[in-house]
Amino acid sequence: MNFLNWLVLVLGAASATNAAGGAIRVVEDMRGLDRAALAADFLSAGAGSSGGGSGHTNNWAVLVCTSRFWFNYRHIANTLSMYRTVKRLGIPDSNIILMLADDVACNPRNHFPATVYNNAGRYLDLYGSNIEVDYRGYEVTVENFIRVLTGRHEEHVPRSKRLLTDDRSNILIFMTGHGGKEFLKFQDAEEIGSHDIADAIAQMFEKKRYNEIFFMIDTCQAASLYKQIYSPNVLAAASSLTGQSSYSHHHDMEIGTAVIDRWTYSNLETLEKLERQDKNTLANLFKTYDSSVILSDPGIRTDLFPRGIENALVTDFFGGVQTTELTLEMYKTSEKQKVLPADVKVEFDGRLSSAQKDTLLEKPRYKLKVVLPQTYLINVPFVLCFGLLLTGVVVAGSV
């Protein structure tokens, strides 16, 4: 079935030499169309419970540094700055998955052992004394990252390495490293594509593993990485648009490398001023971005976030929510006393109305039908064109 589709597409497209590029372009347009239609469906489905409050009961953070080697000290410092911020604003260690691809604090090249600074003035040691790194060194791989997001781990993986979210969890995902157009490099050995990230988030949505996601990414051409996300309730912010690079902020001469990146530094300048009960919104945070200082244009994607950045508080993603209830009574098991139950009143109408009966049957909520191109090493239209070309040449040559 798909084969014929492709055939039709290809033969209907431009000339043979242009066929390969043309086909992909056509496919992308198709995908864009489908997505827009789908997104509209999603937004109506997801908008029900929000409207101001986000409705989350717990917060999680997944902080990933994907770069290895000493000269990428600043990426570790970026991640640890975010780690410190979310811890300060209330997310406990058990709700943070921290992935650091290399050890710089206890690296023999570090002039200040067991410390990581994000500032040449060395005001604050980000490593501190109370740090839990869940995935470190060679464990930071694309596979482990996707396993963390989707929750599909191998048998014996301990709880501290799992993202145990439910459908009332707000998740902050922060990634930093070296990237390019629609890919992010993991440890100089492999890369994750924007489609992989989008599919992982789609799987999270299917399994009801999040309420809202704030996806932050600080790499070169960062905006291309969130371009393919198609699940609802995802807000994304990136350090630079497609085609732009992200830059580091300043160097520390004694450490010998740059210690922080510009976009993260700009975020931290605002976040460091906040306290736990802060009412600042994400719109305020985004307004503080100054392209002339960051030296790139930060990208923000809000089309999948119906609540709106003016209603979303910074602490919705960076802070921890802990609701408590006062316990007003105790249950005395030793005395058989009169216990008055809570008020339970039901409309006594005799029969279940037909409307109520319908709600018992749950319709499948939506249908995802995104057609992905088959990306093989040799493209199908390419092969076909090559075959046709070959045949044509032979025929022509024999004439």
Partner 1 sequence: MSSLIRIQTVSILLILVALFVPVWWSTTQVHRAVLPTDQIRALAAAEAKNVFHTRVAVRFVSGKGQPKAVAESLQTHLNNLFGGASFHFAVRADASTEETQSTSGLYQLRIDCGVKNIQGEGSVKLFEDRVVSLQTPVECADTESIVAQAVAVVGGLFLDERADFARISGSSSHNNDDIRKVKFAPEYQLIFNLMNADPVNLLVSWDIQAAIKDYFQNFVDAVEKLYDFKIKSQTKYFTSLPIDPEVINAGKDGEMVYCLRPHHLPHFINSAEWSFGGSVVSTAPPLNFVVYVPPHAQSPLYIMGHDHGFLKTNSFLIPQWGGISIVNPPKMAPAVAIHENGTTLAIRNVPPKWTLSSSDLSDPMHIFIYQMREILGVKTVGLGSTEQLLPGFQFNYESSSVGITKWELDRLARLTTIQNIRNAVNTLNSLITLIESMEDMILGSTEHLLSS
Partner 2 sequence: MRRLVAIIIAAWVSISASAAQSTQHETLHLHQRPSGRVTAHFAFAQSVAQSQAHALDDIARGFGIDEMALSFTQGTRCDSIATKVGCRPPGVVLWAWMRNNHSLSSVDTRWSALTNALAGTFCASLNFITPENSAEPQSSFTHSSVNSSLSSLRYASLPREITCTENLTPWSKLLPCSTKVNHLAHIKDRKMKPYCILGSKAGIASLFNAYAIYDADYHSMSVEVSRKCTSDTECTTEIRQDLVVALDPVRKGYQRNMDWSLQFLFGKEVAGSCPLNEIETNILVTLPKAEGFEFEGKVKPVYNDEKNAWVYSLELAKQFSMGVKYSDSKPDLSEKSKSTELIQIHRHLTGYGRERGGIKIRISNRDTKPRTVTLLEVLPWFIKLYMHTLQRTTYHITSQEVLSLSGEVVNQTLKYQPAIPRIRPSVIELTATLPGESITVFTFQFDRAFIKYTEHPPDANRGFDTGAAILTVHPASRTEKEYRLFSDVLLIALPTPDFSMPYNVITMSCTIVALYFGTVFNLIVKKLEGLDDSQLKKKWWMFWVKERSVLGKK
Task: Choose the binding region for partner 1 from 109-117, 138-146, 218-226, 361-369 (rule: CB under 8 A).
Answer: 361-369
Q: Specify whether the CB–CB gap between 264 and 81 falls below 8 A.
A: yes
Which partner, partner 1, partner 2, none, binds residue 371 by CB below 5 to 8 Å per kind?
partner 1
Work out what residue 103 binds among partner 1, partner 2, none; the CB cut-off runs from 5 to 8 Å by kind.
partner 2
Q: Which two tokens stand for residue 12?
A: 């209907």
Q: Smallest distance from the beta carbon of 147 to partner 1, in angstroms?
A: 15
Active site residue 220: yes
Q: Least distance from C-beta 270 to partner 2, angstroms?
A: 14
Q: Shortest gap between Cβ of 151 and partner 2 (angstroms)?
A: 16
> Which one of residues 51, 92, 113, 243 is an interface residue with partner 1 (CB under 8 A)?
92
Nearest of 70, 66, 90, 85 to residue 124 by alpha carbon: 85
Least distance in angstroms from the C-beta of 355 to partner 1: 11
Q: Write down the least CB distance from residue 109 to partner 2, Å.
A: 13
Note whether 244 and 297 are within 8 A (CB): yes
Which one from 56, 75, 178, 249 is the annotated catalytic residue?
178
Q: Which window, 165-173, 176-184, 242-250, 288-296, contacts partner 1 (CB under 8 A)?
A: 165-173
Instruction: Tell me which of partner 1, partner 2, none is bound by residue 343, counting a contact when its beta carbon lies within the kind-specific cut-off of 5 to 8 angstroms.
Output: partner 1
In the complex with partner 1, the residue whose CB is nearer, 6 or 265, is 6
Min dist CB 204 to partner 1, Å, is 10
SS3 labels along 91-146? CCHHHEEEEECCCCCCCCCCCCCCCCCCCCCCCCCCCCCCCCCCEEHHHCCHHHHH
Give, for 71, the enclosing helix (H) or strand (E): none
**Comparison of 279 and 369: residue with beta carbon closer to partner 1:** 369
Closest CA to 101 of 134, 143, 68, 62: 68
Q: Which stretch binds partner 1 (CB under 8 A): 52-60, 65-73, 100-108, 115-123?
A: 52-60
Contact in structure between 147 and 188 (CB atoms under 8 Å):
no
Q: Which two tokens stand for residue 8?
A: 């039709």
CA distances from 387 to 17, 383, 394 (A): 12, 6, 11
Q: Does 273 bind partner 1 (CB under 8 A)?
A: no
Please list the residues that pair with 281 across neighbouring strands: 313
Backbone angles phi, psi at 359, to 5 degrees: -70, -15
Q: Which of 145, 271, 328, 382 touches partner 1 by CB under 8 A? A: 328
By beta-carbon proximity to partner 1, the closer residue of 253 and 360 is: 360
Dmax over CA atoms of the chain, in Å, equals: 107
Task: Copy the structure tokens of residue 186.
Answer: 């993991």
Stretch that binds partner 1, among 15-23, 55-63, 171-179, 213-221 (CB under 8 A): 55-63
Is 106 labeled as catalytic in the residue annotation? no
Q: How far is the CB of 36 from partner 2 (least distance, A)?
A: 36
Q: Which stretch binds partner 1 (CB under 8 A): 108-116, 219-227, 292-300, 386-394?
A: 386-394
Q: Which residues bind partner 2 (CB under 8 A)?
A: 68-69, 84, 87-88, 103, 105-106, 112-115, 123-125, 127-134, 136-139, 155-161, 187-189, 272, 389-390, 393-394, 397-398
What is the distance between the alpha carbons of residues 97 and 147, in angstroms, rounded to a whole number? 12
d(CA 239, CA 293): 12
Catalytic residue among 220, 250, 251, 385: 220
Q: Between 200 and 223, name the residue whose CB sits nearer to partner 1.
A: 200
Both tokens of residue 300?
A: 């923000």
Taking the least distance from each CB to partner 2, the nearer of 38 and 101 is 101
Does residue 44 touch partner 1 according to CB under 8 A? no
Residue with tokens 């029969």: 351
Contact call for residue 322 and partner 1 (CB under 8 A): yes
Among partner 2, partner 1, none, what does residue 334 contact (CB within 5–8 Å per kind)?
partner 1
DSSP, residue by residue, 253-309: TTTTEEEEEHHHHHHHHHHTT--TT---BHHHHHHT--HHHHSS--EEE-TT-TT-T
Tell me which residues are annotated as active site: 178, 220
